[in-house]
């Protein structure tokens, strides 16, 4: 019997979306569209953005690799960083290739499509916007932090909680959503948000004008994959409930379900995170808050890694159950 095709949209950025896509790419009959944040300002990506005035390629590159059947072969090559040439030093080969393709084709989405074609990517990868912008975080004490990298890596041992984040355009009065993003959200059967840094990888997609309204209007089922650990300077002391509350504030509706991890990492890993003021994300399943949401609280931990991250195959098994559960 032929399996009905499911239109899946993922929303996020960074390594979290890479892990999710690495798992779902092998789900049968899944038509995948990845919507990617465009505020990365660190490392090679940040330098290319500042020096050449292009959109940040780093998170897009991760998605391209995740959806490519040649991931294992190409990852080490495209993520390899130059060392010898002074101008190239520190840049990754993939970021440079994507930059050159974008400049030659005349626009960033065309460059993304070209690299995806080279790597036989299964699915579509869309920047949430093609307008350049800087992410700004407003803290509970009124201070503001400018740039994704500065928000992501707090200095010192103390920092107030993030109250909210917003985008500041570089060359226009406002920021516009990339139109194919709205079409993908409208036509989706399922939307999977996360995992990833809440304020620097996930919410930056949702605050682009038009995205929130599209999510409110879509008939798609929306699931939120919650992080395994909290992050100092962003989500320290957050419970699973806190993650959901903050996400729902930014989409203006309840999520239909969540995917959470119930397997604690080994103590040595927990100790390492504790030194970084990060802790395990807990869920109180007796809280009535969860009553109206579909809960998938299972072991999705990658037990082979020395950091606390999701296992792509375990995530894919959960998502496959969501997609093909009996109506």
Element of type H or E holding 135: strand 133-139
**Tokens representing 299?**
């072991």
Are 199 and 230 spatial neighbours (Cβ–Cβ below 8 Å)?
Answer: no
Phi and psi of 136, rounded to 5°?
A: -125, 135
The whole model's pTM is what? 0.92
Residues contacting 21, CB < 8 A, separation 6+:
10, 32, 34, 63, 66, 67, 123
Return the closest-CA partner of residue 45 out of 7, 3, 81, 5.
Answer: 81
Q: Is residue 105 part of a domain?
A: no
CATH at residue 249: 3.40.50.10680
* Residue linked to tokens 């290319």: 48
The boundaries of the domain holding residue 186 are 6-38+179-323
Q: What is the pLDDT of residue 201?
A: 93
**Tokens representing 76?**
């080490």
DSSP reduced 3-state for 51: helix
What is the rounded (10 degree) CA torsion for 5, 1, 19, 259?
80
Q: Is residue 229 part of a domain?
A: yes
Are 270 and 277 spatial neighbours (Cβ–Cβ below 8 Å)?
Answer: no
Q: Give the span between the Cα atoms of 189 and 210, in whole angstroms.
A: 19
Q: For 164-205, how does the pLDDT look when each residue is reduced to its tens digit (9 = 90+)?
A: 999 998 877 789 999 999 999 999 999 999 999 999 999 999
Q: Is residue 289 part of a domain?
A: yes
Question: How far is the CA of 94 from the CAs of 40, 58, 164, 267, in angstroms?
Answer: 15, 8, 32, 36
Q: How many domains does the chain have?
A: 1
Q: Which of 251-260, 301-310, 316-325 has maximum average pLDDT?
A: 251-260
Largest separation between any pair of C-alpha atoms in the chain: 59
Q: Is residue 189 part of a domain?
A: yes
Q: What is the pLDDT of residue 67?
A: 95
Q: Is residue 314 part of a domain?
A: yes
Q: Which of 151-155, 167-171, 284-288, 322-326 has maximum average pLDDT?
A: 284-288
Q: For 98-143, how does the pLDDT look when each residue is reduced to its tens digit (9 = 90+)?
A: 888 998 999 999 999 999 999 999 899 999 999 988 899 999 888 9
Distance from chain centroid for Cα 288: 28
**Tokens representing 108?**
């960033």
Q: Is residue 249 part of a domain?
A: yes
Residue 50 sits at the vertex; the CA angle it makes with 276 and 39, to the nearest 5 degrees, is 50
Q: Is residue 226 part of a domain?
A: yes
Are 53 and 60 spatial neighbours (Cβ–Cβ below 8 Å)?
Answer: no
In this structure, what DSSP letter does residue 157 have? S
Rounded to an integer, the average pLDDT of 37-65 is 69
Q: Is residue 245 part of a domain?
A: yes
pLDDT at 84 over 80: no
């Amino acid at each position: 019997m032929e399996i009905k095709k499911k239109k899946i949209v993922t929303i996020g950025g960074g390594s979290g979306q890479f892990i999710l896509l690495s798992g779902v790419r092998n789900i049968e009959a899944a038509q995948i569209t990845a919507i990617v944040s465009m505020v990365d300002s660190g490392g090679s990506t940040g330098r290319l953005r500042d020096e050449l005035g292009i959109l940040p390629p780093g998170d897009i590159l991760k998605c391209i690799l995740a959806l490519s059947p040649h991931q294992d072969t190409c990852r080490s090559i495209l993520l390899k960083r130059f060392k010898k040439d002074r101008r190239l030093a520190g840049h990754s080969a993939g970021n440079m290739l994507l930059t050159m393709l974008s400049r030659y084709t005349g626009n960033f989405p065309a460059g993304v499509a070209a690299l995806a074609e080279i790597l036989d990517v299964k699915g579509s990868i869309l920047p949430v916007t093609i307008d350049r912008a800087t992410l700004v975080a407003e803290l509970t004490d009124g201070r503001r932090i400018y740039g994704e990298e500065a928000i992501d890596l707090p200095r010192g041992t103390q920092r107030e909680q993030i109250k909210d984040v917003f985008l500041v355009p570089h060359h226009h009065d406002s920021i516009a959503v990339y139109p194919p993003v709205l079409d993908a959200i409208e036509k989706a059967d399922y939307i999977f948000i996360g995992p990833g840094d809440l304020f620097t990888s996930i919410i930056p997609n949702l605050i682009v004008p038009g995205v929130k309204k599209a999510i409110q209007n879509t008939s798609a089922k929306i699931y939120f994959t919650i992080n395994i650990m909290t992050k100092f300077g962003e989500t320290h002391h957050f419970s699973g409930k806190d993650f959901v509350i903050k996400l729902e504030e930014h989409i203006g509706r309840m999520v239909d379900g969540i995917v959470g991890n119930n397997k604690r990492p080994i103590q040595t890993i927990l100790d390492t995170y504790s030194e970084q003021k990060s802790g395990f994300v807990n869920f109180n399943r007796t809280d009535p808050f969860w009553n109206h949401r579909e809960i998938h609280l299972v072991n999705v931990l990658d037990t082979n890694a020395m950091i606390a991250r999701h296992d792509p195959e375990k995530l894919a098994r959960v998502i496959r159950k969501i997609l093909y559960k009996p109506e």
